[in-house]
Amino acid sequence: MIAFGFDPEYLLPSLPQTAFVKAFDNSSRISMERLNAPFPFLWKVKKILNVGKERELKQAVAEVRGLAARIIKEKRKELKEKSALESVDLLSRFLSSSQLDESFVVDIVISFILAGRDTTSAALTWFFWLLSKHSHVENEILKEVMGKSESVDYDEVKDMVYTHASLYESMRLYPPVPVDTKEAAHDDVLPDGTLVKKGWRVTYHIYAMGRSEKIWGPDCAEFRPERWLSRDESGKWRFIGMDPYSYPVFQAGPRVCLGKEMAFLQMKRVVAGIMKQFRVVPTMAKGVEPEYAAYLTSLMKGGFAVKIEKRIQTDE
């Protein structure tokens, strides 16, 4: 049995956690508690005194930044030893710019880890859960992934339109980041006439918006990838996008997620790689629904315990 997308508060992983993972999770947890603290001055006092969770946060951040610095050091060494090495990865491109200082590049590395680590795993955890309950969706995805190359190259990923829609639909119901907050830099007025003063926080609930009948219609609670699709003249699926302000899973406007396309490329390759060979079967008792746990990302409380079964020929 395998448990993935686990919540460390409720389930120990099969392998021991590294110091970095513990530090990263602690940093995220304490930062979230800071954001929601009813009396912010308390954590500020603890920070000045370097006690309690603020001391723990300081130690955790040092561990995370230490790993990022080691990654950069190793990449610099690799680039120096292999002068002909093409700078095709993002980190190499950042390091090739003499205008960026070390601290800034460390921040970039941490941002990529933060943005892509828990969000993608959370999205795929809920995706495979929904897939186990909707065999017709699984069959449609299988039609797309069977026959793809082992690595599933970029052009093949672009053809996975139904899979793309299924991931969109899964994240509509279970967005990786369930709630987001912005702070007004200046006095402003929202489109409906609501006054927002400088320094006020405006929070939007992505999870609730994804289940709004006003936005999605009477079948808003259903997992239906077809809502994102139409057939073209040849009968092939064509993806139909949605207003990002109604579907703010990747945010919108100037704050839109820079890694959106990379995330879909990664997720579709993972889905294809797994589904071509295996079936992901939940081990929870029949009729038991997983419990939603919202932190910085939308975890499945207790993790998603599954059996991985070899896919047989008749399933293809």
- Provide the domain limits for residue 201: 2-315
- CATH code, domain with 94: 1.10.630.10
pLDDT digits (tens, 9 = 90+) for 166-208: 999 999 999 998 988 888 999 999 989 999 999 998 999 999 9
What's the mean pLDDT in 1-16? 46
Phi-psi region of 117 (alpha: psi -120 to 50; beta: other; left: phi over 0): alpha
Total of domains in the chain: 1
Please give the Cα distance from 259 to 179 (Å, whole number): 18
Please give the Cα distance from 216 to 171 (Å, whole number): 14
Q: 52 phi and psi, to 5 degrees?
A: 60, -140
pLDDT digits (tens, 9 = 90+) for 37-84: 888 889 999 999 999 999 999 999 999 899 889 888 888 888 877 765
Mode of pairing for the β-strands spanning 188-189 and 278-282: unpaired
CB–CB of 105/95 below 8 Å?
Answer: yes
Look over the chain and give the mean of its residue pLDDT values, rounded to a whole number.
85
CB–CB of 176/122 below 8 Å?
Answer: yes
Phi-psi region of 213 (alpha: psi -120 to 50; beta: other; left: phi over 0): alpha
Tell me what pLDDT residue 3 has: 42
Buried b (16+ CB within 10 A) or exposed e, 81-101: eeeeeeeeeebeebbeeeeee
Tell me what pLDDT residue 95 has: 78
Tell me what pLDDT residue 13 has: 52
